[in-house]
Chains A and B, each alone.
Chain A
């Protein structure tokens, strides 16, 4: 069944790719500026909603409860900034890439190259996360090796990105949006009916349980408090940290090159505004469903496995244990599965021996975390994928979810690979290194750089660097601290000159990257709110990086030369509709 669904959806993507081949650099980079705002809205939504949104987000929220709102608000609120502050003006500018705008507005090759570097760092950290998603889905649902799964996925992306460029990607993404949203909503609706009797998950989430006179969220708060967890609807994080993380995700969303470039593909400024609106509607359909899915999943998980004996545990529990994303050790020797606050094991991720314990569970070598009574390791990424199984939905729903998760991961990967290759072939080769090459030559370089980027992304998928998962969130902080302010100041001020912009971007990049590397890689044991600057975690530091960027840009511009007259004219021009 899963083979069938995945096979049909892949066939569809290839068919669309053949139908919409690109013949010119204009078509390859920005689909000939002929995309309808609604189609572009869907493509933007698919481009934007990645494996992280589809697979990981609801799982994270499920375990974070209230604090999970940072992702919901952060990843949607950025669209308001994008629609009001960037998209219309960048569309009016009308060039191919984000570094193109920065290079032209700040009349400087250095600014262009700095922007390319920021873009590549941001986009590659992001693409690595997509490949992990593809790997998880393939190994669990298609029972092939992760390596083979990644190669199949890369082959498909390669095919339509190299052939069709932006044009092929756009129409494939429209199809992928339809697949992924259908796949997300169907199980959510089923589960909402099962738990609350309400077919609309957004309302079911706030409804009473089907056979009891108590609201789902109240019940969830009670269950959590009983076991010693924080109630589901109250948060643990400091307000300032929640504030900064949300802001960093919003600003980063508005500064992500693969999202911005989508607004270059529509016919005019008014369409750019409209397509930002449609994109947010299409995104909101998933993003308002996600917190409902999270609460259903948390409820179902505890109802079906907490204080249940391992031998009677449902099938899915053992399936996910088999592929290494769940682990259980009977700390109190009662044969029952029990959850409690804190990590169950040290180190957190389980390492399995090739033997089974007295109840048939897989034995792990990790030490028990003595400070916690928790007996279960459960990977956050499985919650959405396992949710239909936990709720005992029919197999075709589970197959649909697998196809949807792949659509989410592949559409985002393709969008990212395209902006990486466009910035290499257009900004580095055509505009910096070899300015006199023909369009045909440039198109060849564009295709060739997609090829290289696909290979590198594939390697990330097959040999995932251990830090990938944590790094993806930082792509936003970096985009917030570098590209977003440069674009914003470039449009809304005439005083920022090239010296200001370049030093601002570098200051934002170095500060944000430095803070993240210091706490995440050099001194992970110090990564707690006591040592953080004003209690702001590395996830939220991009907000401060952005303020530093703006401050440095303004200061340096004050003491250096004014921008040339023709740039003032360019700014006046992009400000008109």
Chain B
């Protein structure tokens, strides 16, 4: 395998890794806390909200925004690394 295709391969594997971890968080924040475990979380009171209800109607959305910005940051670094390796 040439250096070039090794670089591409490494980039793609790392990319898949980043996306998988972030999607796991995405799943937990919405389907996990907002739906599946929502009734258990409702026992906890959070600034006047039941916690499960808050995740379903507010919290999950805020976490979604955070996930995308973490992704933008991580990918920026990864792109940078990729371009450096390619130019070497």
* Residues of A bordering B, CB below 8 Å: 61, 66, 68-69, 72-73, 76-77, 79-81, 83-85, 88, 202-203, 205-208, 215-217, 233-234, 239, 242-243, 246-247, 250, 269-270, 273-274, 276-277, 280-281, 284, 287-288, 291, 572, 575-577
Contacts and interface: CB of A to CB of B under 8 A. Distances in A.
B48 A216 contact: yes
A250 B30 CA distance: 11
Q: What's the dominant secondary structure at chain A's contact region? A: helix
Contacts of A66: 53, 56
23 contacts: A66-B56, A72-B56, A72-B60, A73-B56, A76-B61, A80-B26, A203-B47, A206-B49, A217-B49, A217-B53, A233-B50, A233-B53, A234-B42, A246-B31, A247-B31, A273-B71, A276-B68, A277-B72, A287-B61, A572-B8, A575-B11, A575-B15, A576-B8
Contacts of B56: 66, 69, 72-73
Contacts, number: 121
A23 B50 CA distance: 55
A31 B14 CA distance: 32
Contact of B48 (A73, A76, A85, A206): A206
A73 B60 contact: yes
A576 B65 contact: no
Interface in B10-59: 11-12, 15, 19, 22-23, 26, 30-31, 34-36, 42, 46-50, 53-54, 56-58
Given A84-B23, A243-B31, A79 B68 contact: yes
A284 B68 CA distance: 13
B7 to A, nearest CB: 9
The range of chain B's interface size is 35 or more
A277 B68 contact: yes
A217 B31 contact: no
B62 to A, nearest CB: 7
Contact of A85 (B19, B54, B61, B78): B19
Interface of B: 8, 11-12, 15, 19, 22-23, 26, 30-31, 34-36, 42, 46-50, 53-54, 56-58, 60-62, 64-65, 67-69, 71-72, 75-76, 78-79, 82-83
Contacts of A284: 61-62, 64-65
A576 B64 CA distance: 25
Given A66-B53, A79-B64, A270-B79, 14 more contacts: A69-B56, A84-B68, A85-B19, A203-B47, A205-B49, A206-B48, A217-B49, A233-B42, A233-B53, A273-B68, A277-B68, A288-B62, A291-B57, A575-B11
Contacts of A83: 68, 71
A254 to B, nearest CB: 12
Given A72-B57, A207-B48, A77 B64 contact: yes
Contacts of A288: 58, 61-62
B80 to A, nearest CB: 9
